[in-house]
Chain A
Amino acid sequence: MKVIVPVKRVPDTATDKKLETDMTVDRDGVESVLCPVNEFSIEEAVRLKESMGAEVKALVVGPASAQSIVRKALSYGLDGAIQVTDDAVSGSDAIATARIIAAALQQEGFDLVIMGGQSTDARTSIVPAAVAEILGVPSLTYARKLEIDGDKVTVHRESEDGWHVIESSLPAVVSVVEAINEPRYPSFKGIMAAKSKPLDTKTVADLGIDAASVGMDNSPSQITAAQPPPPKGAGQKVEDDGTGAVGAKALADFLQQRKLI
């Protein structure tokens, strides 16, 4: 069984994030990290390697500098990685990015694709379903539990008030939520081994994609402006007297004044 884990490079949440004048993410001086949810998708893949001997590989779409993210992903125990690096992909929106990921998956071959349910930067959540649609396979998203039995796959799909138990068949695209597992930390051995694991670098042409179908100018959506949110006035702070009475009264007064009670 072959499992591919598409991973994403995101700006560290704690840093000050900006867009460039062309509306792409400003990466200068912003620390980039492996998207936190990918620790869970990678963990799920590594468990399939351990339990059923699956071949497990990472896939990343990004510039050469994204290689540090690939090495980080490999340090958890993946066998190798594919990196799509091409200036033509710059500025691709979620759907155009899905086209690139799908083309790379198709070329590589897979039984199962495991993605994060939501990145910490754009947070659209639509890439897994779009990738599945392009590949013509089921999308089993927001998995809090994943079971594989032959070519049958069962997912507990997290809903607003519980979960749906869904059954489908491989090949499929799955996305995961954090409730699915407890990711391990990379071992020292894993970190050292990551440096020499195979990394295939591909261009858009290598994947057989028409460069006129990806990148900013060919993305179905476009960002036309970006602005910081309106500034918020300083709030009020009230010190309680230690009994709760002063704090409770002050907060109740505030809520009543705002007609919230």
Chain B
Amino acid sequence: MGELLVLIDHDGEKPKKVSVQMLTKARELAEAAGDTVSAIWLGSGAAGAAATLGNFGAAKVYSWASEDAHGYVTLTQVEALQNVFESSGATNLLFASANFVKDVAARLAVRLDAAVITDVSDLASEDGRLVATKDVFGGSLSTTSQVRGDRKGLFGVKPNAFSAAESGGGAPEVVELDITPSDDAKKSKVVEVVAQASEGRPDVAEASIVVAGGRGLGEESGFRIIEQLADELGAAVGASRAATDAGWYPHRYQIGQTGRTISPALYLGAGISGAIQHRAGMQTSQIITCINKDSDAPIFQIADFGIVGDLYKVVPKLIEEIKARKA
């Protein structure tokens, strides 16, 4: 009986949504193969989250409750994962396909001669090996990939690729890792973490609903009604490149080929024409809606539901409609 590893992405207290989504899928894959799921929690907080991890399918939690896990750049985590691979004899690891975690996976892959497959939207087990589906070229093509030969596999899972379901599993065994980072791993230090208020909104890559604004807003202050609409829907705010280039919204909220890629349950674009560069970051959304003055805008070609109209007229009334229906 082997272990299927899941690297938990977390905020120090709770696992991120993508982490419980991964655990749910890992449980399904492990059960079919007669394996068990082991979660890996780097940094403090595993004790408080263990019950949740167990409830979503982890039989075991490897915990490294050291500040070194986040006080240095990438390499202390690589060393911890290398340790887990060696002690568990595991073949495969699922990780959140987010920028910082991908770096950890890339360096680990070189050390283990493992394969890394990022941005995975589906996973299946075929003849005892994992087969991954991913979207390439901004969602215009979908490919099936797997590990070549008998290497280990590191699979980066996109947020919202899987739905989370509790298994009712009990408290997992918590294994404390005993790791002393090497001097090399401590060469790059995190000296300050600058977090800007998100006003309680979810992260744009993880959110179930994303409301995005673009050039059609005309000015920076236009994002206020985008934020109001987002808050009414419990959504994250995104922006097109035109809006971030104009300095109306920070770059990290940019959705598109040179920004974030999102696959929420609902995307609502206001004042976004839907140039191919933007579509490359959002066209795998489950439901696409838009509000745009120009009925010929390309966004309508991929929208499930589009409103041809002035966003400054439609959005405030939409906020009222949503408020009324929620009441």
Contacts and interface: CB of A to CB of B under 8 A. Distances in A.
Nearest to A227: B142
B73 A140 contact: yes
B188 A166 contact: yes
Nearest to A35: B258
A245 to B, nearest CB: 6
A221 to B, nearest CB: 4
B44 to A, nearest CB: 18
Interface string A144-183: 1000000000001111111111111100100001110000
Q: How large is the interface on A (under 10, 10 to 19, 20 to 34, 35 or more residues)?
A: 35 or more
- Interface on chain A toward B: helix, strand, loop, or mixed SS? mixed
Interface string B309-327: 1101111111011100110
B287 A260 contact: yes
Interface stretch (A46-54, A187-195, A196-204, A228-236): A228-236
Contacts of B315: 244, 248
B192 interface: yes
B194 A164 contact: yes
A249 B321 contact: yes
A1 B38 CA distance: 46
B179 interface: no
B316 to A, nearest CB: 7
Given A140-B73, A225-B143, A226-B144, A133 B110 contact: yes
A228 B143 CA distance: 9
A21 interface: no
B103 A229 contact: no
B326 A124 contact: no
Interface in A87-125: 93-95, 98, 117-118, 120-125
Given A162-B194, A221-B148, A239-B295, A124 B102 contact: yes
Given A139-B107, A252-B321, A222 B146 contact: yes
A222 B148 contact: yes
Given A142-B99, A238-B307, A17 B140 contact: yes
Interface in B138-178: 138-148, 151
Contacts of A138: 73, 75, 187-188
A26 to B, nearest CB: 11
Nearest to B74: A139
Contacts of A13: 138, 257, 276-277, 280
Give the residue among B111, B257, B325 with the most A Cβ atoms within 10 A: B257
A228 B315 CA distance: 34
Contacts, number: 294
B251 interface: yes
A205 interface: no
A141 B99 contact: yes
B187 A169 contact: yes
A14 B257 CA distance: 11
B276 A165 contact: no
Interface in A8-45: 11, 13-14, 16-19, 23, 36-37
14 contacts: A36-B258, A121-B136, A129-B104, A133-B106, A158-B251, A164-B194, A166-B191, A224-B131, A226-B144, A237-B306, A243-B317, A244-B316, A251-B321, A254-B305
Interface of A: 11, 13-14, 16-19, 23, 36-37, 93-95, 98, 117-118, 120-130, 132-134, 136, 138-142, 144, 156-169, 172, 177-179, 217, 219-229, 232, 235-240, 242-252, 254-256, 258, 260-261
**Those 3 A-B pairs whose CB atoms lie nearest each other, nearest first:** A240-B309, A244-B313, A248-B317
Interface of B: 73-75, 78, 98-100, 102-107, 109-111, 113-119, 131, 135-148, 151, 184, 187-196, 198, 203, 205, 209, 233, 250-252, 254, 257-259, 261, 265-266, 276-277, 280, 284, 287-289, 291, 295, 300, 302-310, 312-318, 320-322, 325-326
